[in-house]
Amino acid sequence: MSVSKSVRATGRRKCAVAQITLTSGRGDFIINTQPAAEYLRNDAFLLNAVQSPLDVVASNESFDINVKVEGGGIVGQAFAIRLGIARALNAINPASRSVLKPRGLLTRDARIKERRKYGLKKARKASQFSKR
């Protein structure tokens, strides 16, 4: 399951877009020129979420991962990275799809913020009704 050249994939979540480059290596994980743990502020939940596709396929140490991510918040970015890594692993080895798909790692979460409507304070919040 070695990669002769780099494999690129894109992951999205809310407003965040992550561009993933997977190359064969020794397990370096770089996000926007910083180590992954430093970029994700050593948050165990986010680090676990980002590592989950690699854990499922059991290839933690065999790939160098370079990520460029922008937009959204830190959680949206982390889940965009997770989707991008899962897509890249699927591109490398299509047999891993049967392991990634049932865990929801290849499914894009399409929920985004609803736009604000005129006459309302937010998307659905109206001002308080007054009888008199």
| Predicted model pTM | 0.90
Do 40 and 50 contact (CB within 8 A), yes or no? yes
* Domain membership flag for residue 89: yes
Predicted local confidence at residue 8, as pLDDT = 97
- pLDDT of 62 reads 86
CA distances to 8, 36, 41, 93 from 23, rounded to whole Å, are: 9, 16, 24, 13
pLDDT tens for each residue of 97-110: 999 999 999 999 99
Asked whether residue 13 is domain-assigned, the answer is yes
pLDDT at position 1 is 56
Domain for residue 56, yes or no? yes
Query: pLDDT of 52-82, one tens digit each?
Result: 999 999 887 789 999 999 999 999 999 999 9
Q: 6-19 burial, b if ≥16 CB within 10 A, otherwise e?
A: ebebebbbbebbbb
Give the domain CATH number at 56: 3.30.230.10
* pLDDT of the residue at 4: 64
* Residue 74 covered by a domain: yes
Would you state the structure tokens that stand for residue 70, as one six-digit string? 């922008």
Residue 129 lies in a domain: no
| Cβ count within 10 A of residue 87 | 22
Provide the domain count of the chain. 1
Cα distances from 37 to residues 44, 48, 74, 115, 125, in angstroms, run: 9, 10, 12, 33, 38
* Residue 16 placed within a domain: yes
pLDDT score for 2: 56
Domain containing 18 equals: 7-103
Which SS3 state, helix, strand or coil, does residue 54 take? helix
Structural domain includes residue 111 = no
Whether residue 17 lies inside any domain: the answer is yes
Q: What is the pLDDT of residues 1-60, one digit of tens each?
A: 555 689 999 999 999 999 999 999 998 999 999 999 999 999 999 999 999 999 999 887
